[in-house]
Structure formats: structure tokens, C-alpha cells
Chain A
Amino acid sequence: MADPKISAYYQTRMAHFGAVTNDWLAQAQSASAITTTPPPPSPPPTAATLSDPSHQKPSFSVIDEFNRWRKQPDLAEAVAAIRALAAVIRSSMATTMMQLEIELKSASDSLKSWDTTSISLTAACDLFMRYVTRTAALEYEDFNSAKSRLIERADKFGEISYTARKVIAMLSQDFIFNGCTILVHGFSRVVLEVLKLAAQNKKLFRVLCTEGRPDRTGLRLSNELAKLDVPVKLVIDSAVAYTMDEVDMVFVGADGVVESGGIINMMGTYQIAMVAKSMSKPVYVAAESYKFARLYPLDQKDLAPALRPVDFGVPIPSKVEVECSARDYTPPQYLTLLFTDLGVLTPSVVSDELIQLYL
């Protein structure tokens, strides 16, 4: 398609899966166009960094850029990282492709080290690098045009990632029917987006929120949902099996989607997915495509640990150990579908995507 609005990325996806049809995509795009694009980064800081040719600057500006992007409300970390990396290319002083790639690599590494436990950050950086440098035409063009090609792709990737939430929300609307009961676990902005859109479309549904100790995610989420006038009911984490009978579907977000098709998400997701599966309730995961990571955990302990201190409210004797891992791994057999900006996928497609991107 020559339609400039439809990025090459989507076009390949369409060609591959046909999951995202043309008019569908147009809908998604227009939906995303409603939100205002974030204000362009203010020139002075960039200019200031540009004027200083020292090696130290690029990585310094990356973190800066990153932080600046992150300040915007509702922006996912990973998207901020992607934007920052795009800015690195734009402001790079390199004169050869190798140099540029080295710069990008070091910027990406510093971003990753900013938070080593964040899977989506790592995944997004890796995917960005692969996506952007994957064009075969790079070798044949002179540096400047190659660089502008890179910038173009980087911007596209950033756009896609930014509007991913909207696309996912659009995709999920078909699965929420009137009168349904949705169980939600953890505070995912994507899932919130989905529910917001459903409420705006005047669908009648109610939501059961798990409390989400120790982060109290359930409380925050129920707050948000109450603002939307969606009937919400809070359940404690242990009451999930008790209430699973009246639930029609389970909606969760994901910190990362791993190669086997499973997800890494807030602690408790695995439990809920297991209960849902045994009671034959569908489990839907809403995740952007930049969260696809090249990890393959075999069991729960195979993950890089992410610890979060748990506050029980009363002092615990020092002899008592506390399990403070913050997230768990849900294997793909417990998940029904993944809603991503690439379309509605089954868990086994994740590996397909990754192989094609990394081949």
C-alpha cells in the first residue's frame, strides 16, 4: 500500500498475517490521532549537547532525553526509551554507519542499565536496535541518506509504540460484550485504556479488581474505574478462585512477553491464570509488541529476580524470611490470546515474530 499513513511495519504485518486489515488500521490510526502528539523536545538542551563533541555527551543526553520523555504522563518507559534512542540517532555526530551503530549500542546499554529489572525496557531497546538496523539497503546508500532512513524508521517505531495502546484498545473491543464480568489483576495502563474505551463506547460491564498486595494496584485501578462510572468490585487476592465462577474473562497486562509465548507480570498472575484455566475462563493479555523479549524461562526461578520489599504493617521477626519477588512467569498454555498492536495473536506467534525479526 502506498498509503503514507500506514507505516511499513504495519504493511509487513498485514502481509504476513492479515490480522490488521486496511480499514481496521485506518480506524486505529484515527483513534490514535485523537490524542495530541507530545510536544517536540525543546531545542536548547539538544543544541547544547550537540555543541559539545565529547564522547561523554551522547550517553549523557540519552538518559536526559529519556527522563524528559518519561515526564509525560501516561508514557510507558519503553516508549520513552525508544524516543530517546531515536533522538540519539538524530543528534549523532558519527560519520560512518559503524560509528553510529556503536553509539546506538552504548546508548542502549546505558538505558538498559538504568533499570536492569525492567524487561520491557530491555526488550524495547533490543527490538529498536534490530528494527532500525535491519534494512538491507543500508549498505548501499551513502551515509547521510542511510542515516535519514534510520531516523525515519526510528520515528516510525516510536510512533507505533506510542499509539500501540490505542490500537490494542480498539482490538479488544470485540471481546467485551454487554453484561460481561472482567477480572483484572495489576495496574496496567494498557488494560485501563481498554476498559476506558469500552466505557466510552457505552458497553455495560463490570470489573472485579484484585487487591494486588503489596503494591495496592487494585486500589488505584478501582479509583480510576470509578471515575469512569464502571461498576467495580474489589476482591482480595485469595478470593480469586471464589469469585471465578461469576467471571467471564480475565484481563491482564504484561511486563514482558517471552519467547515461549508466556508472560512475565505482577506476582499473582500465574495463580489467577491457573484458576481461570481450570475453570475454562479465557485469559487475555494486553501487551504492546515492543515487550517481546528473547527470554525463555523454564520455570519460575529462571527469571532474573526483581525484588520488592513487602510491608506487612506489623514488624516481622528477623528469623522469618519473606518472599519478596515482585513478578512471576505464566506459561503459554494458560493464556488464551494476546492483544498486541500487531493484531490479536495466539501465544505461539511470539516466537514467530521474534525469529523473523532476529533472523
Chain B
Amino acid sequence: MDTRRAPRAVIDPKVRKVGFFAPPELSQSGLPDPISLPSSSLSPVMIPPPRHSSENLLHHARPLAPTVPGASSVSIEGSVVAGGSYGSSSELFPAPMSPASSSYSSSRFVGGGDGDYCLNGAAVASPGRGGGKAATSFPRGGFESPAVKASSVPASGLTTVSVVNDSSLGIRGREKADNGGGSALEAKDQATNSKQKKDKTTKAERRALQEAQRAAKAAAKAEGNKASGTVTSGTAKPAKAIKPPHKVDNSSVAVSEKKGCDRPPEKDRKKDVPQPRMQYDDESRVEKAKRRAVVKQTEARNRVELFRHLPQYEHGSLLPDLEAKFFQLDTVHPAVYKAGLQYLSGNISGSNARCIAMLQAFQDAIRDYRVPPEKTFVRDLTAKISSYVSFLIECRPLCISMGNAIKFLKTRIAKLPLTLSESESKASLHSDIERFINEKIILADKVIVKHAVTKIRDGDVLLTYGLSSAVEMILLHAHKLGKQFRVIIVDSRPQLRGKILLRRLVEKGLSCTYTQINALSYIMHEVTRVFLGASSVLSNGTVYSGVGTACVAMIAHSFRVPVLVCCEAYKFSERVQLDSICSNELGDPEVISKVLGREDVNYLDGWANTENLQLLNLIYDATPSDYISMIVTDYGMVPPTSVPVIVREYRREQLWI
């Protein structure tokens, strides 16, 4: 970057450091020239941001920081990098507070925890941080607002602009701290940017911090709409719970960006503007959702930076907690509660099974539903369904097929003619759900099987990965038709779902081979066809399925083996996803550290205590369409390029279902 370039008026997009990098040498030459530490101090994956002038900072400073005493603009030369998040131990460190800010920040900070950080600002701004600190001028700028004042840059000469954790405005989550660029999103965000680096504190400390911030927020907050969020009770309230479901509903909308928009008063605006999916790095939102939550979730420690926008909770306590709530659930129908429990415990998994379980639970719930006085059937029922959906999400994030089914149900509810009586409406909904399950899932599977068995010839060696209901049906049917073939089942830890498939196939007499995914390239040369299942197929032909599927498809493609994906049409989504990161599900990392039956493999015991160790257990991945030869749906065999056509036709068809 040209250091002599005029400051840009454009806010840079948030810059997030990814991957590993070595901490750059700290420049002791004083702030002035952070950029002068050019490439040498930048990790290869970091994008050096441009310098921002102080004007920019002030310009973007949130007006809400009234308490900031005549902040002088952060000397940007100093730039800023509240390196915070970038560091190998990034998540464990608090946001670097500009030491200078400590002076006034302590006045602003109500939380005890903050105080600590402030003081540590200078100290903290050191090595542990990795990344970007000093050297790179990450324009932390825009965001933070006033906080950046720090006229006097810390003695250490490190430029750490700290984004002060402005408790009064809520925390925008680590995101900000992490990102160097003052982004437009920041500007929009009401919370003031302070990025409080989450330290490796205990839960109690964090909770105390958040309580304090919340209190401060309530006190100093100018906006009224935040206030509504702070006073909820712990139990889920259907009305408030509407918000997350709306976000969920929009999962099929192609938005996976952060919710940068202002948080509208929940009840009103959420209906106008589709909310993007909830991003879990915004602590304030997470807090709010937690307060409403029925399932008590505790955030996991040691979260992987790249996936911070996805929720991850400690799994150990969830199930017992939820079970204990059995007698307290007046807001959740028992059938829905049962479904939620089954999801949480992993008894029901696989998108078809989950979708059917959910729909049947809704059938029961609708049957038992009575309209409260003074309320309309349609609206109240929709609200109730939304609350159930948010409960289910707390148990386990929705898959795309469930999202589509929920949309269908809500459309049907909305389309109920007002002349029907309550019981007639309920009966009509009941039969609609019944029809959906029959047509879109059960019959669709039959059609898929019929098409796919034509592609199996005698002498074939078929490979499949994991456990897919559609593929299982195809193999069993082909065997019943008398075709001679053998099956190779590829499986992977930690779920080892292929074993279930293996057992079922062997019972019926098919000849099977079982192997783990690391032997894939070894075995692929024998294979003639690959059959895969899918959780969803996206509009650009990308197949979204269990983690490991992309590997199988890629290796098959390189061996020129045709890959057939079997997926019912109701799972198709209008979303477009280019990688597996922006939207995924994180499972319990604990299961990775243990190997069933091998107690001696205990090297990862106590992994949570290790600072620089994070375990990642992804549930889904995205397979690019180039690796897919054909998709078998209930509309026939189509190439991956035809998925948007089917989505279009399908939506049209749904209008007159």
C-alpha cells in the first residue's frame, strides 16, 4: 500500500485475519508509520488496510459516546490495530485498549471487567497478540468511535487503538475488534464499537461483565428500542421469540451476511425486512436470545475464529437441563418438546427424518391448539409456530429442508380462508401437512428410486458416503430387482453413520465393503458409480451435505467416476453458497477428542484448558457443482445447472398447492 496515498473516504470492509501467522515485530519507532512495516510484518493472508485519517474516525465515531471527553482523534498514524482478535490467542485476549483511553475509559466503564482490560491495555498490547498490531494499520478506525481518542498513544509505542468497549451501547461482538477495517457495518451498528476481546475469563466473570454492560446500557442508552430487549424474563415468550424465527425463515434467502442493520423494534419491523440469519458473534444478540431461551446454552470456550459467526454451545449440560424442564414447559407443546429433545440427543438425525418429526409435532400442536380470546386464528397460530420453531432451533439449528417445510406451513396458514371455523381450519392444516409429507417426501423418494435404479447395471461397484435415506432405498430396491452389484460404504468420524447403513444393507444380503474416508483414494479406482445424499442443493448447483461429501465427490471426479446426488425437490434452496464457512453448523467438539473404545487415546483430555488448541467439529460442507454429474430428484434426472429452474417451477407450483 502506498503510504503516501491520500486517505480514502471509503470505509474498508471488515478485515478478518484468517489462518496462521507469526506475530510481527513490534515497531518501536512510534506510531507514525505503521504502514512502514510493510510486508514483513504482515502475515501473508492479511490484507493491509489503508490508512485512515483521523477525520474518518471522528466521522464515523458514534455520536453516542457523549461521555467521551474531547477525544482527540486517535492518532491514526498510529493506527490502530487493536489487534485483538488476530492473534493466535486472539480470542482469549481482551480487545486492546488504547492505554490512553484508559484514562477516560475507566470513567465510562462500569463493568469491572473492563477496568481490568483497560489497565492492561498497554501490557496487553504486546506480544500475546499476534497479529497486526502495531505494524499494520488496521483502521479500526471508523468504528469505534470516540473511543479512539487516546490522544496519547501508549508509551509502548504500539498503536493500539482500542476500540473501547463502550458498554453503554452494547457490544457489537468480537467481530469488530477482529476486523480491522472500519466498516460500514460498524457505522450502522448501533452498538458502539468497542470490541472487547474476550479474555480467557471464567463464565462468572463474563457474566458479570455482561450484566454490568447491560446495566450501563440500560442507563445510558439513548435509543429506546434497545430497552425492550433488556427486560425479558428467562422463559421464552412467543412474541419475542418471533424474531429469531424470522431470521430462520429467511435462511432460504440468500443472505448470509452479518446483520448489520439496526435492530428494529422487534415486533414491528421484523415483518418488513427479512432478517438475515443470526450471527452468533454479536454478544448482545446472543445474550438476548439466551434470555428468551428455553434451553440453557452455555457458550463453548476455545472457539475457532473462522467460525465465530456460528453458534457453539457446550453440549454436556444441554440435554439434562432440557429434560429437567419437562414440567415447566407451558409455552412449548409436548410434541414439539419431544421433537426438540430427540434432536438434541441425536436420536433423530438426517434431514428427512428431522423434517417429518417436526411436521408431525406441528400436526399435534395444531390439533391441540385453541385460539385465545381476542386473537385471530391466523396470526396467533403463526406466532405460536414461530415460537416452536425458535425452540427447535435452540435444540439444534434448522436444516434447509426444515426451513422450506416451515415456509410451506406458514404459507398455508396465511392462506386459510377467513370463513372457515377453527376446527375446519385445523383440519385443513392437518391434511395439508399430511399431503406435504406424502407428496414431497415419501412419494418423491419412490420416484427418485425409480429413476436412479436405471443407472445401476450388473457388475457395478457403487460407492456411497455416510447414511442417506434416499441412497439406502435405491440400493435396496436395486437389489430387490435382482441387479448384481456390490457396495462400498465410506464412513468418517466422529459420527460413523455409515455403520448403520452397513448393518441395514448386510441384513438384506447385499455384498458390502466398509472403509474410512482416509482410504478413499485407495479404493476409488474400483468404483463405477458414486451415489450421494444431500441435505440440500443450492441454486448454483452446490450440494450441501454432510461433511466429507465434498471430498468424496472431488476424488470421484478426479478418477472420472460419475457422481449422482439423490435429493428430493423440497430440499432445494434459493440460496447460493460458495464455501462451507459462511453458513454451517458446529457440533460438539468433545466427541472429536475421544475415540470410542480406545480409552488409551486420551491425548486430548483437557483440551479446553489449552489456550492455543481449538477443536472444530463441522457438520456440513458444500460440494461445488463441477464435481456432480447428475442430480436425481422427483422431477427426474437433471444436471446441476437446472436446480434454479426447478426452484422456480417449484415455487410457482407451491402457490397453488
Please report A residues at the B interface, Cβ cutoff 8 Å: 259-261, 294, 296, 298-299, 302, 332, 348, 351-352, 355-356, 358-359
Contacts and interface: CB of A to CB of B under 8 A. Distances in A.
A259 B641 contact: no
B455 A352 contact: no
Given A298-B455, A298-B630, A355-B645, 18 more contacts: A259-B637, A259-B638, A260-B629, A260-B639, A296-B637, A296-B639, A298-B562, A298-B564, A298-B629, A348-B639, A351-B641, A351-B642, A351-B645, A352-B642, A355-B638, A355-B649, A359-B649, A359-B653
Contacts of A298: 455, 529, 562, 564, 629-630
Contacts of B642: 348, 351-352, 355
Contact of A332 (B636, B639, B649): B639
B646 interface: yes
A68 B636 CA distance: 36
A271 B638 CA distance: 25
Interface residues of B, number: 17
Contacts of B635: 355, 359
B562 A358 contact: no
B645 A352 contact: yes
Contacts of B455: 298, 302
A260 B638 CA distance: 7
In the A-B complex, the 6 residue pairs with the closest CB atoms:
A348-B641, A351-B642, A298-B562, A296-B637, A260-B639, A352-B645
22 contacts: A259-B636, A259-B637, A259-B638, A259-B639, A260-B630, A260-B639, A261-B639, A296-B630, A296-B637, A298-B564, A298-B629, A299-B562, A348-B639, A348-B641, A351-B638, A351-B645, A355-B638, A355-B645, A355-B649, A358-B636, A359-B649, A359-B653
Interface of B: 455, 529, 562, 564, 629-630, 635-639, 641-642, 645-646, 649, 653
A328 B443 CA distance: 35
A57 B636 CA distance: 35
A314 to B, nearest CB: 35
A296 B637 CA distance: 7
Contacts of B641: 261, 348, 351
Contacts of A294: 636
B560 to A, nearest CB: 9
A359 B646 CA distance: 9
Contacts of A348: 639, 641-642
A138 B653 CA distance: 20
A214 to B, nearest CB: 28
Contacts of A352: 642, 645
A359 B638 CA distance: 13
A332 B636 CA distance: 18
Contacts of B639: 259-261, 296, 332, 348, 351
A261 B645 CA distance: 15
Contacts of B529: 298
Nearest to A299: B562
Contacts of A356: 645, 649
B654 to A, nearest CB: 13
Nearest to A358: B636
A261 B630 CA distance: 12
Instruction: Determine which residue in A260, A261, A294 has the highest number of CB atoms from chain B within 10 A of its CB, and name it.
Output: A260
A355 B646 contact: yes
Instruction: Determine which residue in A259, A294, A356 has the highest number of CB atoms from chain B within 10 A of its CB, and name it.
Output: A259
A351 B631 CA distance: 12
B558 to A, nearest CB: 15
A351 B636 CA distance: 10
B648 to A, nearest CB: 9
A205 B388 CA distance: 70
A337 to B, nearest CB: 15
A359 B648 CA distance: 12
A351 B645 CA distance: 9
Contacts of B638: 259, 351, 355
Contacts of B562: 298-299
A110 B3 CA distance: 80
A260 B636 CA distance: 12
Nearest to A333: B626
A302 B630 CA distance: 14
A331 to B, nearest CB: 9
B360 to A, nearest CB: 29
Contacts of A351: 638-639, 641-642, 645
Contacts of B649: 355-356, 359
A347 to B, nearest CB: 9
A2 B52 CA distance: 62
Nearest to A262: B639
A348 B645 CA distance: 11
Contacts of A299: 562
B632 to A, nearest CB: 9
A302 B456 CA distance: 10
B541 to A, nearest CB: 10
Contacts of A302: 455
B557 to A, nearest CB: 12
Instruction: Determine which residue in A259, A348, A351 has the highest number of CB atoms from chain B within 10 A of its CB, and name it.
Output: A351
Nearest to B642: A351
A332 B562 CA distance: 14
Nearest to A346: B641
B257 to A, nearest CB: 28
A298 B455 CA distance: 8
Nearest to B635: A355
A149 B625 CA distance: 42
B276 to A, nearest CB: 30
Nearest to A294: B636
Contacts of B630: 260, 296, 298
B420 to A, nearest CB: 27
A69 to B, nearest CB: 31
Nearest to B643: A351
A351 B641 CA distance: 8
Contacts of B637: 259, 296
Contacts of B653: 359
Instruction: Determine which residue in B630, B635, B645 has the highest number of CB atoms from chain A within 10 A of its CB, and name it.
Output: B645
A309 to B, nearest CB: 25
A261 B639 CA distance: 8
Nearest to A351: B642
B33 to A, nearest CB: 49
A332 B626 CA distance: 12
